[in-house]
Structure 1
Amino acid sequence: MKDFDVAAVVSGGASGLGEATTRALAARGAAVTILDIQEDRGKELAAELGGHTTYVRTDVTDPASVEAAVAEATGKDRPLRIAVNCAGIGWAQRTVGKGNVPHDFDPFVRTVMVNLVGTFNVLRLAAAAMAATEPGEDGERGVVVNTASIAAYDGQIGQIAYSASKGGIVGMTLPAARDLSGVGVRVCTIAPGLVDTPLLGSLPEEARQSLSAGIPFPKRLGRPSDFAELALDIVEHGYLNGEVIRMDGALRMAPR
């Protein structure tokens, strides 16, 4: 897809990876709808970017909430062609902790609901809207880019909930691409490594340097702009489909 004169939705689009992607898409002329629960930040970003960028408060785990956001995107003066899923949360806890205390049940379910089920919810509704549009080159109607993590492959101690949720996104990629091949919608997933998001930004500089030192090359934390660049590359490259791309500087995570 070479033409960015289209509508796009970005879940988790008000901060971190999602914000960088929102900015990159808007800079290329896309009419972006930001889907996020961070109302103040979402409104501020939409106002800053102006133009055709809008914000809709969205809970990705709620079908009606996502339906309303997708309806906002499809109501713009151009077809919905792009969906990027960045909404996600983390949780750290061992399966069995000190004193033989089992992992809390509710945080595990919540992590899977937001990261995996939320991704599926946006994927299914955005793809259905894309399927109703007129096809472009090669019969393509749109592309969905999901966000997993290298934790899907190299999950560390205490990452069972997060790794399970991201592993589900990896496993969903190929069947989703196959399901949607009939309507001309591509599906790819990015699995980032250590990216300098606000969460890592809160760490002491010594800890950040230690994390960077463990990355083979380049020896730095990933940047949200790296993710956004790759997401746009996937959008533009019409033959990429059903693939998960690690973006990690060749990092393979140790158990802890």
Structure 2
Amino acid sequence: MSGDGDMATFRRMPGQRTEGRLITGAAISALLVSMPLASAAAETRTFDFDDFNEVDIAAGVDATVTVGSDFAIAVEADEKDLERLRIEVKDRTLKISREYRGMSWSDGRGKIVATISMPTLVGIEASSGASVVATGIDAGAFAIETSSGGSAEATGRCESLDADASSGSRLDAEALQCARVVVDASSGASVRAYADEEMTADASSGASVKIFGDPARRDVSKSSGASVSY
């Protein structure tokens, strides 16, 4: 009887483990099946806006900007998020975001990806969790502003850069080679920029600023746990 009892216990234990494997396998299978379905649900829409030289991206939208080509705008998202898309040109600025529903734009949100090309770019703004990656910049004066967890990356060249970052945002312009840069960073924001002649940096409230290019003229102000290096 004791042998039978041991055997019964042995049978139950593998049964429990096998059931666990089956459940895990089913969960993985369901995930793998759902992934192509989610991809298949994505749609791409194109827009015929032109006559803009700045971009303002907000509300968790991810944007890639290529400078030097004709105007073109394509946005990819699922149908539900495309219905919430807000896109317009105002004062020569292309603005892309999504409308608020309830207390936040992020309620039930999915990914919105914008691909933009334009002949000339002189300014970038990224806010509220949005991200902008811009390449091919060739400008005299250029401006970048990030806030509220937004991020911006810029590549190219300019004569002067005005960089403003706040509220935990990230601004990476190390690859945007400029002669002069003015940086204002606050509230935990992070800025990386390049200047080979002159830099002015004001950092406060835990912000961090790193300037590349070894500029000869430097004007630095920092407070409340902020840092500036060069």
| TM-score of the two chains, using structure 2 as the length reference | 0.29
Specify the structure having the higher radius of gyration (Cα).
2
> Which has more helix, going by share of residues?
1
Scaled by the length of structure 1, the TM-score of the pair is 0.27
**Structure with a larger share of its residues in strand:** 2
